[in-house]
Structure 1
Amino acid sequence: MPLPPLPRLPAVVPRSGVSPEARRSLRQLLGDADRALATSFRDGSDATALAARRADVVGRVVVHVWSACLGDTPSAALFAVGGFGRGLLFPCSDVDLLALIDDDATALSRALEHFFACLWDIGLKPGHAVRTVAQCRDLAARDPSVFTSLLDARCLVGHAGLATGLRGILDDPSLWPARDYLRARVAERDARHARYDDTAQNLEPNLKDGPGGLRTLDAIRWLGRRLANAPDLDDMVAEGLLEPGEATRLERAENTLRRYRFALHLEAGRAEERLLFDYQRALASRLGFEDEHAKNLGVEQFMQGYYRAATQIERSGTQLVERFEEMLAPDTDPQPVGTDYVRYGTRIAPRNPKLFAHRPAALVEIFIARLDEPGITGFTAETMRRIQHAVSLHGESLAGDPQVLGAFLTLLRRGALAVDALWRMNRHGLLAAILPAFGTVVGRMQYDLFHVYTVDEHTLRVLRNVARFADPDARREFPIACEIWPHVEKPELMLLAALFHDIAKGRGGDHSVLGEGDARDFCTRVGLPDDDVDLVAWLVRQHLLMSTTAQRQDITDPAVVHRFAGIVGDWEHLDHLYLLTIADIIGTSPKLWNAWKDRLLADLYTATRFALRSDLAPPAHAGARVRECRERALSMLLGERIGTDDIARVWAEFPDTSFLRHRPEQIAWQTAAILRAGGVTPLVEVHPFSVRGSTELFVYAPDRDGLFATVTAMLDRLRFSVVEARVLVSTSGMALDTFLLLESDTQAPATLQRADELRVRMHRALEQSAGQGLVKRSMSRHLRHFQMTPRIEFADAGERTQLALVCTDRPGLLAAVAQALAEAQVRVHDARIATFGERVEDFFQLTDRSNAPLSPERREILRACLLRQIGPEPARTTSHADANA
């Protein structure tokens, strides 16, 4: 597409200033130019060419205003810096300027003020600095970022002598010598990447400053210029720092990011650099991505394009740093490492440059050698290049080469040590070559808030979590997992299960079923025994079983544990599934793991081991379970010197369900609290750190309709999340309600101070006859983009009705549900609460106010009340404040 023509500017009278009419004209000119550029972009013009054209337009206007305000002064010069200095301005980018002045040019201060004020007035938003050459030198000597900014400085107008002075700063070898500059740039990179969790695979990545973003490409060029006098990619090819193919891939990735950035600025209407959820769907549509099916959305394809480009840039940036380090500190004294490799200092390389081409298995074996050789920290830069050449050369044949697969299995048998090698193999594209199915999920985004990383990044993090279980220092955080790991006879099976558990994401269909087939095929090809193949395939198929059982079912019910144990079958499967489940949860999102889930999974694991040790005996009859719980609780209470008559009096009012659904220690705690209260109600008792790493709230009060709503409304006001609720009624009509809680903000149990606050505020609320009103809090920016119409399903459950509610999470959700239940005149007897990112899956046991199952009419009334209370919030336009929420 042809670019919009450059605007014609009127003649200017030097130092005459810019009249209001002229300012309006310039403002109109810039607006017209921006609109023309936006139209050209929508019509398919290249984003880089358009950004260069905008820089040309703005440059002409800036020079025009400079001439009008300062004329042809010998005491000053104006430089474009930043992206403007590099000759690119995206639709809403700031116009960064540096005004260099002579030491005695103070008389220009008023004219410079007018100049910059005029630029603001016509809408350019300049970022500017006014300095002398000496000041620039002083700042550049102290701050590598200032020195770097001068590398991009481009003289727009002014005295040539000042430009020469600026070049003198850059050419001074005493200012930031090559090694110092490289160290400074690497330190800046590491600090910047740490702000983004050291990965480009975030849900809302920063395409400018994040890992693999456009800033990485800028840094590559800065290093090339300072260290090798090679300021662009072609120059680096000429210097041997890049190969033509590498430069082509970098240019292609850069063009992708520039296209996305241009579109993002247009969509946001401001200099937004984050691919926020607010814009992702619109950008995908703007750039022509369409939904393929429900599990390969257009927005996911759009984001995959970003992730793959960012991965390429980050990979090349890392390798270039390695090459620069070798260039500055060459080691020419190779030492042999086995028969095939040599080491240069701390780096390893093949002895024969053609080794990888002649023997593909060496591509994997060199990673093993790197693990085995003490003191090795990496490969030589040339080795990294040869690995990538060999991967391209052999292509798909690597996935079927028996020797390659044998070497890969040998690597996996190193257990935890192999995980770092797998990360590095992925960086070189080797992992995807050996596992082509893995290559299809590289950069694959899952458009939800549950999975905060792309599938490949998540998989690699799961592998790292598995490796942590081999670290003795992790025993305090993962006591059971660290206890299990030394007994895992074949760690390669655990790593294979982690590699394949999500490998079928995005294909359509059940990824667990599809992944099972992939895992079975691969494990067979690498020559694993049938039993090992079956174990890996089973783990992939059932990798969600333990977490869903623990979070969605009542694991205090022996029947639930018995069913789960029947699926697991033996201790070996249970041990492996427990390890994979924990690693998977933590690798999905750091925010998902908390003490409650830790305890929940530990309880299920322990109960299942007992069931398996008992040869899967059917669960004890309810009467026997009640007797066992009563006996253990009685022993605890007698130890506290509480009399048997007092205990019997309290327990006479407890329904058998209390002893079926609560642990003995909970029964003992509740009983002691009731006795201490001496008949005074309402009773509110709080255990800050109780069962399963949560805070336990016990409410003992006369039962009344709306009590559940009152309690949940106060919990919402105090910002507690309910993870489990037991709502029972004594034989004398007293509510025996138990809630397991976590702090909403931290997902941690309450502190002692917070527990006291909860006790006082809840007691006060229960004493009031009127129910607590709901707190209206707006939905977060993230959640607003993942709203769904609530899915409400009813099922018969004996003498009760089960409500299954699947909906979007939101502040005060449970309180709103409780309000709907009260409005529909429905009683709650049990609640299971589970949240998965933006998605809530809650289960309630309900009756009407006569304690009968809900009739069809009552179910429809409840459905209407729920939809009114928790239906999707209306969408609203994202503000700048929202975007920073």
Structure 2
Amino acid sequence: MSHLPLNRRQIISRRDIDAQLAALSPELPPEKRRPEILAVLKAALAAGRAEVKQRFEAGSGGRVASRDLTYLVDQLIRLLYDDTTTRVYRVANPTQSERLSIVAVGGYGRGELAPQSDVDLLFLLPYKQTPMGEQIVEHMLYILWDLGLKVGHATRSVDECLRMARSDVTIRTALLESRYLWGDESLFTELKTRFDAEVVAGTSRDFVEAKLAERDARHARMGDSRYVVEPNIKEGKGGLRDLHTLFWIAKYAYRVDSVEALTAKGVLSRAEANRFIKAEAFLWEVRFTLHYIADRAEERLTFDVQPEIARRLGYSDRTTSKGVERFMKHYFLVAKDIGDLTRIFCAALEAEQRRKPRFGGLSRFFSPRSREAHGFVVEGDRLSVGSPEAFLTDPVNILRLFWESDRTGFDIHPTALRLIHQNLKKIDADLRANPEANRLFLEILTSKNDPENTLRRLNEAGVLGRFVPDFGRVVAQMQFDMYHVYTVDEHTIFAIGILARIEQQLLTDELPLASSLMPKLLSRRALYVAVLLHDIAKGRGGDHSVLGEQVAYKLGPRFGLSEEETETVAWLVRWHLAMSNTAFRRDLQDPKTISDFVELVQSPERLKLLLVLTVVDIRAVGPKVWNAWKAGLLRELYHLAADKMAGGDVAEKTSGTERRLSAVQEQLRADLTDFTSAEVDQFLALGTRAYFLTTDPGAILRHARLVKRAMQDRAPLSIDTRVDTHRGITDVTIYTGDHPGLFAAIAGALALAGANIVDAHIFTLTNSMVLDSFSIQDTEGGAFERPDRLARLAVLIEQALSGSLRSLGDLANLKSGPARAAIFTVRPRVLIDNKASATHTVIEINGRDRPGLLHDLGRTITRQNLQIGGAKIMTYGEKVVDVFYVKDIFGLKIDRPDKIDDIRTALLAALQPTPVPTAAKPAARALKGAAE
């Protein structure tokens, strides 16, 4: 007897379980006997699962564990079938019509089960269902469901299976992977024989096209990138389903049952087959670990599980990187390998198509038309090489192929990509120093066609990381936070694509200022290189801007940039966060803010370059990060700095700022048709320049009507809410008299209402009233829009401001927020700056977000006898950067060292997860922010 069956008996022994079932009361009717059967099988299932888990944790591996679970379920189903047909519904001599075969289909048919996978069964009949067959199937399904197995099932005859497979690719795929389990084996043999002859034969082309179209649609649903930082390991791009798709196609087109068989047929090399096996083994290891941690059918690698998976798989922290980041980098490199295998496999399909006419007409893969073009072969609409020696004899051809692809618009043939992968070692120090290779690369990067697409092809092929090794260090590099949606390399390539679309004037409506500046730039090449390099030093354990500057000085001359261009690139990389930090964290109407910013930037050309770089950086972070408010702040900072550089005085009425202010106010007059001229004048007199220049025009209109109603009603408090479903937020505006603690009280009321604050603005009007505007979301990250919740929110705000709200103390009992946010560690920091503003002390607070933090901070500041003159509230995933402009009770800056120390100590205490006695716990914020 072989070792494996003996070993597997530790998972489940059919002989032992069958003996237990045989000992049950045979005289009992089926419905009475069922609980006894269930008890025996449930104990066997639990013991078997425990054994599989123990083996996995001892290092058996995910693929072995998957087969072990399959074996366990196989044996349970066989035991149940035998017990059902011999003891419950005895069928001693079944007629032809009473024959029944149990078939495993889908992933279960492949022999792959994860801890929480579905068990897909086909109850196969020779003809239509019989009463006896129906009783057997029903009895088995009820017990399987009671065991807690998620059973998907179908009961069909052979003819029904074949008819449905011909018209439904999903059913065809399930039958392709069908596996005989138990019962009448001749029925299954008939199904497989007829399936091959009547369904598969002659339909390879249609099946391949359908499966690849299905894959493309799935990728589109999942975000069409394998580099999202919370990937779906099953359905995402580069996940298990992509491997399944390749195997389905292989099985259908080549009639093979293993990856090794593909090697024998010459479809994959031995090295490529090993990559397939390693990728599959890694993904199964991750999937099993994920299912055991989540204890449910979870397929997403969310932030809250990534560190634990990394720990269990042995990825430890190092000096310059976290273990979780190393694990995720490995994951993304595996996903990239799967993309490579897909292209290689398609190349093999095309070669097969040329050899065998049964693939004829599959035009998406191959057109027999070929011609020469600039040293390369054009097959259909794709570039390839005429000789396998093309890259060996002249490695520059590797770059030249991508350059030609960008120039002509032709895609690159999978055969050429496979050849490139085999010759990646030719991309060495000599090629990196080659002037022609660097010229081609710079022309690709700065192309006016589609540099994003070409750079992504370079990256997917492994060329970009080898040609620019500093870039290779950030390939698949994730940042373990809730702000960045993509890996560093994918973010960078996205940013270059956005820059190209700005230059092509395709984003004029969304990004009007950047679009208008792009044609005026004198340092176009420097800008493209700066975008490529702006995050290139991430993951090195230091300030990536400072380290990236050094990389820029090294690479600029190599790429062929002039000394001036190289210096410009290095400066942009060093200061690529300066504009967003100033716009989003400082008071733009404070002349000191503008003076300091202009002193850093110095030249109008650098200002233009920095504006465009900042915009593309933020836009490439992820969906919903860019918004009108950020655009308005960057636009205002740009114009104020440009005016200052032109010799204008920020305070002069004749400045460009004043002209823009006048334009805003004139448009307001035109839009407020329900206001008299005097009412418009009255509202205009209330607002500050900062308010009119940084607030969205639509919001100003709503505020004007809110203020008008409040004045007419002589209301001490007016509240306006507006649901913006497009942005997924709700704007809450409060117009009331200013008084100490106002900001904290409103924040506390919002927290009690269950709202998460994602943005906040404070405007003090000239009549000593305030317009406090908060952008909020519900706990699921959507707009706060239910009418009952909005009504309660308004009541809570009124009670908080009137002093009648007694439940602010309950803020300490709020839940700590989403589990996925609690796993992040952000070092708390309080910076108190008396140089950033001529009139206020600026307090910048950095820490991890949590429920009630904004209320805590506002309340702590008030208790330090400080007046809040303005605030900038920003959230970068789990990290907050809250900036308060404050004065003491006499309206002066805080300059006493002991007082500054007291303020810092109190705010650091307020940042702690556990509330301090002097502060309560309110509203969390969701994913919003500017580029980092």
Q: Same fold (TM over 0.5)?
A: yes
Matched, 1:344 2:368: no
* Structure-to-structure mapping, 1:141-156, within 5 angstroms: 141-156=166-181
Describe the SS at the equivalent of 1:252.
Answer: helix
Per the alignment, residue 89 of structure 2 pairs with none
Checking the alignment, whether the CA contact within 8 Å between 2:102 and 2:123 is kept in structure 1 is: yes
Task: Give the residue type in structure 1 aligned to 2:822.
Answer: R
Question: Are 1:704 and 2:735 counterparts?
Answer: no
Give 2:336's aligned amino acid: T
Write the distance in 1 (CA, Å) between the matches of 2:335 and 2:139.
41
Q: Answer whether contact 2:344 2:415 (CA < 8 A) is retained.
A: no
What is the aligned partner in structure 1 of residue 459 from structure 2? 426
Stretches of structure 2 that go unaligned for 5 or more consecutive residues are 87-91, 354-358, 922-932
In the alignment, structure 1 residue 8 sits paired with structure 2 residue 17: no
Matches within 5 A, 1:509-548: 509-548=542-581
* 8 Å contact kept, 2:100–2:126: yes
- After superposition, the C-alpha distances for 1:790-834 in whole angstroms (9 at most, x for unaligned) are 544545577765432222334564345434555666532221112
Q: Does 1:210 align with 2:236?
A: yes
Match of 1:274 in 2: 300
Secondary structure of the 1:237 match is helix
Q: Give the 3 Å change call, closer, same or farther, for CA 113–660 of structure 1 in structure 2.
A: closer
Measure the CA separation in 2 of the matches of 1:750 and 1:558: 37
Contact 1:206/1:213, CA 8 A, preserved across alignment = yes
Aligned partner of 1:482 in structure 2 is: 515
SS at match of 2:301: coil
CA distance in 2, matches of 1:689, 1:447: 31
Are the equivalent residues in 2 in contact too, given 1:350–1:383 (CA < 8 A)?
Answer: yes
Q: Alpha carbons of 1:750 and 1:284: their partners in 2 closer, same or farther (altered >3 Å)?
A: closer
Q: 1:738 to 1:335 in 2, by over 3 A?
A: same
Deviations 1:21-76 (A, max 9, x none): 55434333333332232222222223222322332232222212111112585611
Local SS of the residue matching 1:278: coil
1:198, distance to aligned residue in structure 2 (A): 0.7
TM-score by length of 1: 0.86
- Post-superposition Cα deviations, 1:404-448, rounded to whole Å, max 9, x if no partner, equal 223212323424532211111111111111111222222111110
Do 2:304 and 2:821's aligned partners in 1 also have CA atoms closer than 8 Å? no
State the partner residue of 1:36: 51
Q: What's the CA shift for 1:702?
A: 4.1
Say whether residues 1:223 and 2:264 are aligned partners: no
Residue 779 of structure 1 is matched in structure 2 by: 817
Per-residue deviation, 1:862: 6.0
CA deviation after TM superposition for structure 1 residue 729, in Å: 7.8
**In structure 1, what residue type is equivalent to 2:847?**
C
Whole-Å separation in 1 of the counterparts to 2:582 and 2:738? 31
> What's the offset of the Cα at 1:595?
1.0
CA distance in structure 1 between the aligned counterparts of 2:49 and 2:732, rounded to whole angstroms: 60
Do the aligned residues in 1 keep the contact of 2:377 with 2:385 (CA within 8 Å)? yes
| Residue in structure 2 matched with residue 461 of structure 1 by the alignment | 494
Q: How far apart in 2 are the matches of 1:394 and 1:788?
A: 40
- SS of equivalent residue, structure 2 residue 768: strand
**Is the aligned partner of 1:248 residue 2:282?**
no
From the superposition, tell whether residues 748 and 538 of structure 1 become closer, same or farther in structure 2 (CA, over 3 Å): farther
**Amino acid of the residue matched to residue 189 of structure 1?**
R
SS in 2 for 1:69: helix
Whether 1:307 and 2:322 are equivalent positions in the alignment is: no
Q: Spell out the pairing of 1:315-334 with structure 2 (5 A cutoff).
A: 315-321=340-346, 323-324=348-349, 327=353, 328=359, 329=362, 330-334=366-370
Deviations 1:674-702 (A, max 9, x none): 78826934264879899xx9999876644
Partner of 1:556: 589
Deviations 1:157-199 (A, max 9, x none): 1222311232135313555811211121112111211222011
Contact 1:4/1:40 (<8 A) preserved: no
Structure 1: where are the runs of 5+ without partners?
875-885
Partner of 2:716: 682
Cα displacement (A) at 1:537:
1.5
CA distance in 1, matches of 2:44, 2:281: 28
Q: Which whole-Å CA distance do the structure 1 matches of 2:85 and 2:644 have between them? A: 87
Deviation at residue 531 of structure 1 after TM alignment: 0.7
1:211 deviates by 0.9
**Which residue pairs with 2:388 in the alignment?**
353
Look up the SS of the partner of 2:605 in the other structure: helix
Does residue 285 of the first structure (1) align with residue 311 of the second (2)?
A: yes
- Alpha-carbon distance in 1 for matches of 2:309, 2:412: 39
Pick one of 830, 838, 850 that aligns with 2:870: 830
Letter in 1 for 2:43: Q
Q: Return the letter of the residue paired with 1:468.
A: R
Query: Which whole-Å CA distance do the structure 2 matches of 1:799 and 1:848 have between them?
Result: 11
Q: Which moved more, 1:821-830 or 1:533-542?
A: 821-830
Structure 1 contact 698–736 (Cα < 8 Å) conserved: no
Q: Choose from 296, 307, 323 the match for 1:298.
A: 323
- Partner residue of 2:67? 52
Task: State the secondary structure of the residue aligned to 2:384.
Answer: strand
Instruction: Give the C-alpha shift of residue 222 in structure 1.
Output: 0.6
Taking only the aligned residue pairs, the percentage that are identical comes to: 30
Q: Contact 1:784/1:873 (CA < 8 Å) preserved in 2?
A: no
- In the alignment, is residue 575 of structure 1 matched against residue 608 of structure 2? yes
Secondary structure of 2:297 counterpart: coil
Q: Determine if contact 1:451/1:589 at 8 Å carries over to the other structure.
A: yes
| Displacement of 1:317 | 1.7
Cα-to-partner distance string for 1:641-663 (whole Å, 9 max, x where unaligned): 86799979x97xx8xxx757544
CA RMSD of aligned residues (A): 4.3
In structure 2, distance between residues paired with 1:495 and 1:511 = 18
1:85 matches 2:104 = no
Query: Aligned partners of 2:56 and 2:626: how far apart in 1?
Result: 44
Deviations 1:108-141 (A, max 9, x none): 1112222222233444443322221122123212
Change (3 A) 1:251 1:702: closer
Contact 1:4 1:36 in 2 (8 A): no
**Residue in structure 2 matched with residue 184 of structure 1 by the alignment:** 210
Residue type of the alignment partner of 1:164:
T
- Report the number of matched residues: 855
In structure 1, what residue type is equivalent to 2:207?
A: Y
* d(CA) in 2 for partners of 1:814, 1:826: 16
Secondary structure at the residue paired with 1:98?
A: strand
Task: Say if 2:833 is the partner of 1:818.
Answer: no
Partner of 2:848: 808
- C-alpha change, 1:441 and 1:700, in structure 2 (3 Å) is closer
Gap change, CA 1:713 and 1:435, over 3 Å in 2: same
Query: What do the CA deviations read for 1:270-315 (whole angstroms, capped 9, x no partner)?
Result: 332222223211111111111103x510111111111111111123
The answer for the alignment partner of 1:201 in structure 2 is: 227
Question: Counterpart of 2:77 in structure 1: which amino acid?
Answer: V
Deviation per CA, 1:704-745, whole angstroms, max 9, x where unpaired? 333333444566649584745335486xxx633233444547
Distance 1:665 1:19 in 2: 71
Read off the aligned partner of 2:629 and give its amino acid letter.
W
Evaluate the alpha carbon distance shift between residue 696 and residue 849 of structure 1 in structure 2; reply closer, same or farther with a 3 A threshold: farther
The residue aligned with 2:142 is 117
Distance 1:463-1:70 versus aligned 2 partners, 3 A rule: farther
Asked if the contact 1:92–1:270 (Cα under 8 Å) also holds between the matched residues in 2, the reply is: yes
Preserved contact between residue 395 and residue 433 of structure 1 (Cα < 8 Å): yes
